[in-house]
Amino acid sequence: MVQEISAKTQISKMNDDELASLFTKKELAEFYSEALNQLQIEYENYQKRTEKDLRISYKYTSQNIIKELLKQLDILEKAIKYEENINSNLTNNLSAIVKTFYEILQGYGVTPIEAIGKPFDPKCHEAMFTKITKDYPDMTVVEELEKGFILYDRVLIPSKVIVSQTATSDYITT
């Protein structure tokens, strides 16, 4: 195989007269035909790769701005929870705005990560603490500190969570 490639390289450097002395016209035509077919295949593969790269690039170009928007929406949601008892009309209006933002982002491929009650997954959850509990199996998300989000099929922001730990004799000290 290596010899075949080096032979092809040497042949490709020859001029037409040198090639004519090595091959008959039929062999030369077959050689050029094969070379042309190979170039066409390589060009088609190049086009497919380029189109795929462009699609992926276009699909994820907005991820940085979406991350920033989600961080700000998280801050706004925390403020709404804090102010709920003080001015319910304002918090209701702000909650509606936040809900609308999430609906818009969902139209662009952003979905929240389901966390509470799900098994801990390091690909989409970031464990902040563990909590000893009998209510959940070991390594289950019991509380979500910050929402996580997925953009199409990529984790955009991992959920910051508290993970369950079963009470065993190893954990209990007397």
Tokens of 107: 């139209």
Give Cα 21 distance to the centre of its chain: 56
pLDDT band at 22 (very low <50, low <70, confident <90, very high): low
* CA neighbor of 140 nearest in space, from 155, 150, 157, 125: 125
The rounded mean pLDDT for the chain is 83
Q: Is the pTM of this model over 0.75?
A: no
Helix 63-83 / helix 88-107 crossing angle, nearest 10 deg: 160
Sheet with 159-165, strands from edge to edge, namely: 125-132, 159-165, 141-146
Q: Are 65 and 101 in contact (CB under 8 A)?
A: no
Phi and psi angles of residue 49, each rounded to the nearest 5 degrees, phi first: -60, -45
pLDDT, one tens digit per residue, over 120-154 is 999 999 999 999 988 888 999 999 999 999 998 89
* Bigger pLDDT: 59 vs 20: 59
pLDDT at 119: 93
Strands 159-165 and 125-132: parallel
**pLDDT of 115 above 80:** yes
Average pLDDT on 40-66 reads 88
* CA neighbor of 159 nearest in space, from 129, 137, 131, 127: 127
Residue spans of alpha helices (H) in the chain: 2-12, 16-22, 25-60, 63-83, 88-107
Residues paired with residue 140 on neighbouring β-strands, in sequence order: 119
